[in-house]
Amino acid sequence: KREANTKEYHFQVDELSEWETRKKYIDLDLKLAGWEFKKDVIVEYPVVGMPNQEGVGYVDYVLFGDNGKPLAVIEAKRTTADPNKGKQQAKLYADCIEKMHGQRPIIFYTNGFETYIWDDLNYPARKVSGFYNKEELSLLIDRRTMKKPLKNVQINDNITNRYYQKEAVLAVCDALENKRRKALLVMATGSGKTRTAISIVDVLTRHNWVKNILFLADRKTLVTQAKNSFSHLLPNLTLCNLLDNKDNPEESRMVFSTYPTMMNAIDEAKRKDGKRLFTVGHFDLIIVDESHRSIYKKYRAIFDYFDAILLGLTATPKDEIDRNTYEVFDLENGVPTYAYELDQAVQDGYLVDYRTIETKLKFLEEGIHYDELSDEEKERYEETFDEEVGEDIDSAALNEWLFNDDTIDTVLRDLMEKGIRVEGGDKLGKTIIFAKNHRHAERIVERFDQLFPEYKGGFARVIDYSVNYYQTLIDDFSDRNKLPQIAVSVDMLDTGVDIPEVVNLVFFKKVRSKSKFWQMIGRGTRLCKDLFGVGQDKTHFLIFDYCGNFEFFRENPKGIEGKAVESLTERLFNAKVEIIKELQHLQYQEEEYIAYRNELIDEVLAEINKLNEENFRVRQHIQYVHKFKNRAKWDSLTAMDVNEIKEHISPLIVPLNDDELAKRFDLLMYTIELAKLQTKNAT
C-alpha cells in the first residue's frame, strides 16, 4: 500500500466526475465501515415512483440488512458540488424505497469529502465523518419502535438520591427529548458528577436510547476510578478499560479510555472478522469527564469522527466557562444544560467552602535584585543561577527560585503554624501541596524532614507518577489514622482523588487553566464527619496561595488554557513549506534556487505520500491530502494554500525516529533561511 501511495499524483481533485468521486472516495469509506459490495451494497439501484417523466430513478447506493430490507440510501455528487444539492433527491429515493419495501431507509448524501446523515423520522440532517455499518443502521431503524419516551423516567435512588442529581438527569432527558444531541452539566467537585453520569446511562439504556457508551478522561487514574464506579453501581453493564489489555472492547457495552489511547484504537482495534471495531456509529453516547476548551482543540478528531450523543461534565463555574466550550455543545454562552455550583452545594450542606491565605513571596512577585540580597542569599543565588543571567532576574524566570530553600522553608513554616489541625490541635490535618514538578516536590519533602526531623520522614511524602507503588501511598494518605499527613503532589492529586479528610491545600505553583484551578480547589470541598472529634465535623478548608493564582483569576476570570503545541515534525514541515513559497518569487529564478526549491518539494511530497489514507484522521482531511499530493499545485503556492497545509496537512505528518538534536538543528537552519528570504536577502 505504501508503495502505491508514493507514486506521483496527476489527477486534479476539482476535476473528478461523480462516477470517479464514487470510486475514489465513497467506495473506500463504505469498505472501511465494513460493507461488502455485491453482497449488501447495490449500486445504481432502480426505484419507481420518482416525480419525473419516466417515474423511475437510480439510487447511487442502497445498503441492505441481513433480512433483505434496505437500511440506507446514499446520493453522491461530484467533489466540487455542494452535497446538499442531493438532499431532496435522496429524500425522494427514500420515499420510493419506503413504498416499495415497507421500511423507510436512513438517508446519506455526500460529495466524497462531506457526508451528511438524515434520519428524517428523528433528527435534522447532520454532518458525519463516514458511513454507519450494518449493525448500527439496523439499530437506528429498530429504535424507531423500541425507544421509550424520556418524559416520566424512574431514577434509581441507589445511584442518585439527591434532588439536584435527579434534576440534572431530567434536564439531560429533556434536552434529548427535544432532539438535542449534546448536553453540558456543570457540577461542583464532590457533588456527584460521576454518579449523575451513571444515572443518565442507566436511564438511557433502560429506555433503549443508547447501547454502546464511551467514557473519556485525561488521566489513567480517572479512567480506572470511573470504571470502578460504573461497575459497582451498574453491575449488569459489560465494561472495558482500553488501557487494560485484559478487557475485550468488542464484547463490552461501555468503553473507558484516555484520549490518546482512543485515537490509536480507532484505527487499530478490529472485530473478530477483521473489520474495524470503532466505526463512525459505534458509540451512541460519549461522556467527557472535565470538559474544557483544550480537550476539544487537541482531540477534536475524536469528536468529529464519532456520531454520538455528547455529554460533558465539568466543575468549572458556568460563568467562567469560555464561549468555545458552550459552542461545542451548541449552547448559549453561560447557559449549560444544568448547573449545581459550589455556593449552592455549601448552602445545601453537601460540601464545605474554602478560605484563602494569599501570601505574596517577595521574590516570586517582584523578581530578584542582586544588590538587595543578603550575603547568604547572594551565595545561594550564585549557586542557583548561571552567572551569565545578570544582576536582575524577573519573576517570569524565577522557576528555579521555587526550589530555593528559604522560599520552601517559609511555606512549610506557614503551613505548620497556620494550617488546620486535628486530634485536639496536636497534628496537622491532611494536606496537599501542589508542586511544580517532581524535583520541586522532592526538595519540599527534603526541607520538611530537615525542619521537622521529629516526624522521622513519614509525615510528608511525594505522591506522583514517578514514585513506585504510588497507589499504596495514596491509600495511606486517604486513611485518617495513617501517615503521611502531607502529600506533595505533581499533577496526580490535582483531579479525581477524593479524600474527605483534606483540610489544607497549598498552591505552590502557578496555574493558568481555569478548569485545573477548580479541580484543585475541589480536593478540599468534601464533607467529613467527626473529623475533629465526635460531633465535630469539617466546616471549611484552607488554601494557602503563594503564586498569585487567586489574584490572576480575579483579573482573568476565564483563565488561559494552554495552546495546542506544534510538534517538532510539524514545525519542520511548515518551515519547508514557507521556504518553498518564498522561493517562487522572481528574484529566486537562478538555477541553484530552483534546484533547492524542487528538492524541498520532493521532501514534503514524500511525507504527504507516506500518509495512510485509511487512517481516520487522514480521512477527515482527505480533500486537502489529495489536493497537495498533486505536484502541479506546488508550482505556485498562495498564502491560502500555506494556511490550508498548516491546518490540514502538517498535523498529520508522521514523525520519523530521527535524532531530535539533528531535527532541532535543521529547524534552526530553516528558520534562518526563511528570515533571510523574507527580508529579500538570501545571498
Q: Output the DSSP codes for 590-653.
A: SHHHHHHHHHHHHHHHHHHHTS-TTSHHHHHTHHHHHHHHBGGGGSS--HHHHHHIIIIIGGGP
Residue 20 falls inside a structural domain: yes
pLDDT over 70, % of the chain: 89
The stretch 437-444 carries a mean pLDDT of 93
Q: Are 578 and 433 in a shared domain?
A: no
The stretch 329-343 carries a mean pLDDT of 96
Residue 390 falls inside a structural domain: yes
Considering just the CA atoms, what is the radius of gyration of the chain in Å? 30
Which of 386-400, 416-430, 446-460, 488-502 is the least confident region?
Answer: 386-400
Q: Are 375 and 501 in a shared domain?
A: yes
User: Do the strands 430-434 and 486-489 form a parallel or antiparallel pair, or are they unpaired?
Assistant: parallel
Q: Are 359 and 477 in a shared domain?
A: yes
pLDDT digits (tens, 9 = 90+) for 319-334: 988 888 999 999 999 9
Residue 660 falls inside a structural domain: yes
Question: How far, in Å, CA of 64 to CA of 82, rounded?
Answer: 26
Asked if the bond preceding 484 is cis, omega within 30° of 0, the reply is: yes
Q: Are 550 and 401 in a shared domain?
A: yes
Q: Are 297 and 195 in a shared domain?
A: yes
Final residue of a structural domain among 328, 348, 368: 348
> What's the pLDDT score for residue 3?
39
Domains: count for the chain: 4
- Contact between 290 and 226 under an 8 Å Cβ cutoff? The reply is no
Question: How far, in Å, CA of 77 to CA of 22, rounded?
Answer: 8
> What's the pLDDT score for residue 17?
76
Question: How far, in Å, CA of 131 to CA of 374, rounded?
Answer: 71
Surface-to-core class of residue 147, CB atoms within 10 Å of its CB (0-12 exposed, 13-18 middle, 19+ buried):
middle
User: Do the strands 486-489 and 460-463 form a parallel or antiparallel pair, or are they unpaired?
Assistant: parallel
What phi and psi, each to the nearest 5 degrees, are found at residue 185? -105, 125
Residue 142 falls inside a structural domain: no
Q: Are 336 and 372 in a shared domain?
A: no
Final residue of a structural domain among 81, 114, 133: 133
Q: Is residue 582 scored above 90 in pLDDT?
A: yes
Chain-centre distance for alpha carbon 579? 33
Residue 109: pLDDT band (50, 70, 90) is: very high
Residue 4: pLDDT band (50, 70, 90) is: very low
Question: How far, in Å, CA of 484 to CA of 477, rounded?
Answer: 5
What is the CATH classification number for the domain harbouring 33?
A: 3.90.1570.30
Final residue of a structural domain among 133, 155, 183: 133
Q: Is residue 511 scored above 70 in pLDDT?
A: yes
pLDDT digits (tens, 9 = 90+) for 141-198: 999 999 999 999 999 999 999 999 999 999 999 999 999 999 999 999 999 999 999 9
pLDDT digits (tens, 9 = 90+) for 379-410: 555 555 544 444 454 455 555 555 678 889 99
Residue 371 falls inside a structural domain: yes
To 5 degrees, how large is the angle CA 106–CA 63–CA 182? 35
Question: How far, in Å, CA of 682 to CA of 39, rounded?
Answer: 61
> What's the pLDDT score for residue 221?
83
Which three cell numbers, joined as nine digits, stand for 185? 452539566
What is the CATH classification number for the domain harbouring 398?
A: 3.40.50.300
Residue 139 falls inside a structural domain: no
In this structure, which amino acid lies at residue 395? Answer: S
Containing domain of residue 84, as a range?
2-133
Q: Is residue 269 scored above 80 in pLDDT?
A: yes
- Contact between 181 and 310 under an 8 Å Cβ cutoff? The reply is yes
> What's the pLDDT score for residue 2?
34
- Contact between 391 and 433 under an 8 Å Cβ cutoff? The reply is no
Q: Are 576 and 622 in a shared domain?
A: yes
Task: Give this prediction's pTM.
Answer: 0.86
Residue 561 falls inside a structural domain: no
Q: Are 526 and 380 in a shared domain?
A: yes
> What's the pLDDT score for residue 655?
85
Question: How far, in Å, CA of 631 to CA of 467, rounded?
Answer: 52
Residue 647: pLDDT band (50, 70, 90) is: very high
- Contact between 56 and 97 under an 8 Å Cβ cutoff? The reply is no
Q: Are 544 and 588 in a shared domain?
A: no
Q: Are 433 and 321 in a shared domain?
A: no
Q: Are 373 and 464 in a shared domain?
A: yes
What phi and psi, each to the nearest 5 degrees, are found at residue 393? -125, 130
Q: Are 541 and 593 in a shared domain?
A: no
User: Which residues make Cβ contacts (< 8 Å) with residue 582, sequence separation at least 6?
Assistant: 588, 674, 677, 678
pLDDT digits (tens, 9 = 90+) for 198-230: 999 999 999 999 999 999 998 888 899 999 999
Chain-centre distance for alpha carbon 296? 5
The stretch 97-109 carries a mean pLDDT of 98
Residue 455 falls inside a structural domain: yes
> CA nearest 16: which of 78, 76, 60?
78
Residue 558: pLDDT band (50, 70, 90) is: low
Higher-pLDDT residue of 26, 403: 26
The stretch 262-286 carries a mean pLDDT of 95
Buried b (16+ CB within 10 A) or exposed e, 651-674: bbbeeeeeeeeebeebbeebeebb
